[in-house]
A = this chain, B = another copy of it.
Amino acid sequence: MELLQKNRCFDGEQRIYRFNSQTLKGDSRFAVYLSPQALEGEACPALFYLAGLTCTEETFAIKAHAQGMAAQLGLILIMPDTSPRGDYVAQGDHWDIGQGAGFYINATQAPWAEHYQMESFIVDELYELVLQQFPVQQNRVGIFGHSMGGHGALTLAFKYPDKFKSVSAFAPICAPTQCPWGEKAFSTYLGNDQALWAQHDAVALVGEKGALFNEILIDQGLDDQFYSQLNPALFQQVCVQVGQTLTLREHAGYDHGYYFIQSFMDDHLQFHAVQLES
């Protein structure tokens, strides 16, 4: 694990690392924010943040304005890249597929299966690495994300509730089996068997697994230019059906970008801090 960059920030440290991933079969970068408490070696709760289409491990660190509140709450933030990267990694035909668009699933189809193993990368390899390398309280790890990464956070939380004790999302793709982004990604990475797709669809997963969390927090802008891809109403519906408490906040005037995300970032960090205490 190689430290590429570190910057003091709110008395903690913002860092970028590179390491050779066995799961992705190549180098991968991730960013981490260590709160002042973590920097002193104190065991802290941690949050994985999964970013959206086209983003990298640095997007959240620069644009989300999370470090100030993370420092106050004593949180460690883990920010993986959104896909495998490199000349040897298959490229997509557009920004919504391939590099920068891993969708947090394990591809089964050629040529993608060779490197696109983002689900195992996050929940096994990176998760273990983070527990080894940073002073993380093992039973206090949460996950959140935005858009494609909101889909990732919701699905990974419901698939691995033993690993993630809290979950929230900004403008998540709630039902990827029912929107163009998801249909393209799932048919590309998983092939045409739609029974497989459902295993990676938050609405389907909650319907199958039932209520697993005390509460889920979702923020959604009502001027979101990608609203038709997101289907928050379907997610709300299935949460009601299974008795999963959901706080879905819809915000007039807000769009899909990081100016929206930063506006509600403190709320999400405080939400996770409370959930991870219980």
For chain A, residues 108 to 150, give those with C-beta under 8 angstroms from any C-beta of chain B. Answer: none
One of A5-13, A168-176, A185-193 contacting the partner? A5-13
Question: A62: CB under 8 A from chain B?
Answer: yes
- Minimum C-beta distance from A174 to chain B (A): 22
A1-29 near B? 1/0 per residue, CB < 8 Å: 00000011111001000000000000000
A41-68 near B? 1/0 per residue, CB < 8 Å: 0000000000000000000001101011
Q: Cβ of A254: which chain B residues have Cβ within 8 Å of it? A: 8
**A9/B221 in contact, CB under 8 A:** no
Q: Cβ of A11: which chain B residues have Cβ within 8 Å of it? A: 263
Kindly report which residue of chain B lies nearest to residue A258, judged by CB atoms: B62
**A221/B8 in contact, CB under 8 A:** yes
Selected A-B contacts with CB under 8 Å, 7 pairs: A8-B254, A8-B260, A8-B263, A9-B262, A9-B263, A62-B63, A67-B263
**B7/A262 in contact, CB under 8 A:** no
**B260/A223 in contact, CB under 8 A:** no
Question: A210: CB under 8 A from chain B?
Answer: no
Question: A259: CB under 8 A from chain B?
Answer: yes
A259-B9 contact, Cβ under 8 Å, with A62-B63, A65-B65: yes
Q: Complex Cα distance A251/B7, Å?
A: 13
A235-259 near B? 1/0 per residue, CB < 8 Å: 0000000000000000101110111
Interface size on A, residues (CB 8 A): 24
Candidates B68, B258, B260, B263; contact of A262 at CB < 8 Å = B68
With a 10 A CB-CB cut-off, give which of A7, A14, A62, A68 has the most chain B CB atoms. Answer: A7
- Minimum C-beta distance from A21 to chain B (A): 26
Q: Complex Cα distance A223/B13, Å?
A: 13
**A9/B260 in contact, CB under 8 A:** yes
Candidates B8, B63, B259, B266; contact of A259 at CB < 8 Å = B8
- Minimum C-beta distance from A192 to chain B (A): 38
Q: Complex Cα distance A267/B126, Å?
A: 36
**A7/B257 in contact, CB under 8 A:** yes
Q: Complex Cα distance A152/B219, Å?
A: 40
